[in-house]
Structure formats: C-alpha cells, structure tokens
C-alpha cells in the first residue's frame, strides 16, 4: 500500500516532494528525476526551485526523463511536452538541458505514419533510462480516468514505453491547452509504460481537487486493474500519494492515513 499524505494545498504537497528531492540530490549529485507535465506537479517544481536556490544545491549533473509526449507536434510547439518540461522544470531548476530527455525528442514532430522513426522510439527510451541507472524519484499526476503518463485505461501493467492512442476523455480534458478545440489535440502519444514507471525507485503521485477524488480512491483502495492504470502503484514497494482534502474525499481510510502520517517516526522520510 502506498503512503497517503493529506495536505492543505498544492504548496504543502510541493514542499514535501521538494524536500525529499533536494536531499536526494545532495546525496547523489547525478540523481535521475522522473518528470511529468500537467498542472499537478507545478507547485512541486516551484518549491524545489526555491530550495535549490536557497541551499545553493549544485544541479549541474542532475538528469531527467519525462513521462510522455504527443506525437505529431513540432518540439517547438508551446504545448509539446518537450517545451512544457523545459519551461516548467529545466529553466526554473537550472538543469542542464543536455541532461533532460522527453520521449518525443528524437521524433522532431514526425507524424505517426513515419514508422522508421516512431516505431522503435519507445524501446530506445527505455534503454536510455536503464543506461542512466534508472529513475530515482518519479513524480506523477493522474488523469480523471486514472491514467498515469498517458497510459489510458486498459494499458498493460507490464508495458514499456510505446505509442498509445489517447482516450477521447483525455483529449477533452487537455483541449484547454489547445484553444479549447479538441480537434487540435493530437490523437496519439508516446508514453513511458506502467512497467517502466514501476521500475523507478520511488513514486510520488500528486492529485488535487474534487475532479480527481474518484481516480484517487480507485488508485489507492480499489483493486489493481489495468482499468485504473494508476492502481499499479499498489505493486510498488515505495509509493507516496499526496492529495488535498478534495482529492482525498472519497478515500475510506482517511483517518488511518492522517493518523499514520501524524505518527511517522521523525527519521523516516517519504
């Protein structure tokens, strides 16, 4: 079972993540961070940027691997995950762009039909993660349908990085980044698989707001099922789920999670 931490707001969640990652980098200057897009991790990156500045932490050797990318968008498109990760993580944290990879980087906007470039990109990405020694801490958001990365319901829980078709729900959720026009949202993506994500040494899932309450309850307290891909976190030996009151509202064991966190031994980090 994952550790569930119920917090007041995104900043508090962000501080918990940031403290843990800052300590990791101090102990391991070439730490490998698993990075995610979406609004949920933004406060966590901001808090981490503050600690890096205040404590003058050297991040020049920190490496990063993003979870996913749309297929067919030029890398320079403001909504490509390449651009998003650079804008929200690489620049504010002061990482070396050469040390950070996004799964679509090698595709340069190649269309889905370009099998020579698209078909093996996932396999190559997984090899690159393995060659870097694996991900130390993977930050995750969650879709309203329980997806992580872009692993839509039905995704194999053993999957590696590969091309996926986006669910219509996800395209509608993400239309807000594309002038509210669902037709502008790409239909396909390349995403780390659930099997890839489970190889990271620590998973930190962040979810906020009532809209995520059902997905969070399914993830933490439902059965492990490919219909809620995030429920695979239950199979991971070190998973932390940080949620606000609204996202926690459908959890049955809230009282226990609060009690356990309040009585956590001081020497234990997340």
- What residues are annotated to the active site? 68, 145, 147, 152
Q: What is the CA radius of gyration of the chain?
A: 18
Residue from the set 15, 16, 37, 190 that interacts with ligand GLP by CB under 6 A = 37
Residue from the set 88, 151, 161, 170 that interacts with ligand GLP by CB under 6 A = 170
- Regarding 70 and contact with ligand GLP (CB under 6 A), the answer is no
- Regarding 104 and contact with ligand GLP (CB under 6 A), the answer is no
- Regarding 40 and contact with ligand GLP (CB under 6 A), the answer is yes
Surface-to-core class of residue 251, CB atoms within 10 Å of its CB (0-12 exposed, 13-18 middle, 19+ buried):
buried
How are beta strands 137-140 and 32-35 bridged, if at all?
parallel
Which region among 104-112, 118-126, 127-135, 141-149 touches ligand GLP (by CB under 6 A)?
Answer: 141-149
Q: Cβ closer to ligand GLP: 80 or 174?
A: 174
Q: Cβ closer to ligand GLP: 38 or 193?
A: 38
- Regarding 192 and contact with ligand GLP (CB under 6 A), the answer is no
- Total residues at the site for ligand GLP (CB under 6 A)? 14
Q: Among 197, 188, 107, 212, which residue's Cα sits nearest to residue 160?
A: 197
Q: Cβ closer to ligand GLP: 67 or 198?
A: 67
- Regarding 142 and contact with ligand GLP (CB under 6 A), the answer is yes
- Regarding 68 and contact with ligand GLP (CB under 6 A), the answer is yes
List of residues 6+ apart from 10 with CB closer than 8 A: 40, 42, 43, 44, 206, 208, 244
**What residue number has its CB nearest to ligand GLP?**
141
Residue from the set 3, 30, 39, 258 that interacts with ligand GLP by CB under 6 A = 39
Task: Give the interface with ligand GLP as residue ranges (CB under 6 A).
Answer: 36-40, 67-68, 141-143, 149-150, 170, 174
């Amino acid at each position: 079972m994952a550790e569930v931490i119920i917090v007041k707001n995104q900043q508090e969640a962000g501080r918990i993540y940031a403290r843990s990652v800052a300590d990791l980098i101090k102990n391991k200057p070439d730490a490998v961070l698993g990075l995610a897009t979406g609004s949920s991790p933004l406060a966590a990156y901001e808090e981490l940027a503050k600690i890096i500045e205040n404590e003058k932490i050297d991040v020049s050797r920190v490496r990063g691997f993003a979870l996913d990318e749309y297929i067919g968008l030029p890398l320079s498109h403001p909504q490509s995950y390449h651009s998003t990760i650079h804008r929200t993580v690489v620049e504010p944290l002061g990482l070396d762009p050469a040390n950070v990879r996004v799964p679509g980087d090698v595709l340069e906007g190649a269309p889905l039909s370009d099998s020579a470039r698209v078909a093996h990109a996932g396999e190559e990405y997984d090899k690159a993660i393995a060659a870097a020694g694996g991900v130390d801490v993977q930050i995750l958001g969650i879709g309203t349908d329980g997806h992580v990365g872009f692993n839509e319901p039905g995704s194999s829980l053993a999957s590696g990085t590969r091309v996926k078709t986006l669910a219509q729900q996800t395209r509608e959720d993400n239309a807000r980044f594309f002038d509210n026009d669902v037709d502008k949202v790409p239909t396909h993506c390349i995403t780390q698989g659930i099997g890839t994500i489970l190889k990271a040494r620590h998973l930190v899932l962040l979810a906020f707001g009532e809209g995520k309450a059902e997905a969070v309850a399914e993830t933490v307290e439902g059965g492990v099922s490919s219909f809620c891909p995030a429920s695979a976190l239950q199979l991971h030996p070190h998973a932390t789920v940080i949620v606000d009151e609204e996202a926690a509202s459908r959890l049955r064991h809230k009282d226990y999670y609060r009690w356990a966190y309040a009585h956590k031994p001081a020497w234990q980090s997340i």
